[in-house]
Amino acid sequence: MNLRDIHTPVLLERCIELLGPALATDDALLVDATLGMGGHAEAFLDRFPRARLIGLDRDRDALRIAGERLSRFGDRVHLVHTVYDGIADAVASVGLGAPTAILFDLGVSSLQLDVADRGFAYSRDAPLDMRMDQSAGITAAEVVATYGEGDLRRIFERYGEEKLAGRYARAIIAARNEQPIERSGRLVDILVAATPHAVQRAGHPAKRVFQALRIEVNRELAVLEHAIPAALEILPVDGRIVVLSYQSLEDRLVKREFAAVSASTAPRGLPVELPEHAPRFRLLSKGAELATEEERAVNPRATPVRLRAAVRIREDA
């Protein structure tokens, strides 16, 4: 497997530009909370020779591959098997102090998409697994087999923003009553058959349903809702954070958390803002930044990305 052929880090130069000021010192410590196959991490370690890395991932295959890729950096690299809402405990367990920079590259990784038997891609027939950590949790096949019509509709609406959620939920219930749905190919066939031809021309019928199942299986939004505040909490003054999101549900959550810590908490009408009410963070990005047309052409997986960044400017009161 040639890692550089299947994994081009998204918005790499912009991430380096934003996090770089926090990585140029002797005590520089980067936490890559979603290590994947280590593409971003490798570039940072090359670019900032004094920086150390704590890499987190729930996917043991990704950790193994990243470990091999980053082995040339020796004891500058520390890898931890954990879900990224465990960032504070993971950092404490390594014992290198507070991170000066944190990177989240959310969503499904290149490894998970490109290895067919993981079941993430609707374009390939595979067992319906979709677990980022294959050692724990329920599979997508179990969700499809056991959830009632109302629950299926709920996750398709909430996590996939799917307008045909009810239709798809009914089709899945009817199909599984005839035969278990254990492979992605059969689920795709069921969804395509349940989709009006006019709607099929607007995009693949399985795209949003597969996204919803993946988010449900891996509790992605619930994890993210805890992970972002935890990451912000452990950053020291001048510490920086960059988050790359790939769908609107993730980006809205990140936007909300960043807005909360970058706003004054002073009551309305207070003539002078007291120090304890001052914002703790300053936003480094104006809204959500997108990939350039050039990057999207070279790396199609950058097309949906939304980047947000912030720097800590004061300690808690």
**Residues 41-56 pLDDT 10s:** 999 999 999 999 999 9
Task: Give the pLDDT confidence score for residue 1 in this predicted structure.
Answer: 45
Rounded CA gap, 142 and 145, in Å?
5
| 16 CB neighbour count, 10 Å cutoff | 17
46 belongs to an annotated ligand binding site: no
Q: In this model, does residue 148 exceed pLDDT 50?
A: yes
pLDDT for 227-286, tens place per residue?
999 999 999 999 999 999 999 999 999 999 999 999 976 667 666 666 666 899 999 998
> Mean pLDDT in the chain?
91
For 112, half-sphere exposure in the C-beta direction (CA atoms, 13 angstrom radius) is 25
Q: What local confidence, expressed as pLDDT, does residue 114 receive?
A: 60
Domain boundaries, the chain: 3-105+220-312, 116-218
Residue 81 annotated as part of some ligand binding site? no
Binding residue per annotation — 112?
yes
Is 57 annotated to bind ligand?
yes
In the chain, what percentage of residues exceed pLDDT 90? Answer: 78
Spelled out in words, what is the top-level CATH class assigned to the domain 116-218? mainly alpha
Higher pLDDT, 103 or 116: 103
Residue 32: CB atoms within 10 Å? 28
Residue 62 CA to residue 58 CA, distance in Å, equals: 8
Superfamily classification of domain 3-105+220-312: Vaccinia Virus protein VP39 (3.40.50.150)
- Identify the band that residue 116 occupies on the pLDDT scale cut at 50, 70 and 90: low
Q: Mean pLDDT lowest for which of 21-25, 298-302, 313-317?
A: 313-317
Say what percent of the chain tops pLDDT 70. Answer: 90
Q: Is 159 annotated as a binding residue?
A: no
Average pLDDT over residues 30-45: 96
pLDDT score at 223: 96
Q: Which two tokens stand for residue 276?
A: 């304890």
CA 272 to chain centre: 39
Q: Check the annotation: does 226 bind a ligand.
A: no
Higher pLDDT, 218 or 268: 218
Q: Does 201 have pLDDT greater than 80?
A: no
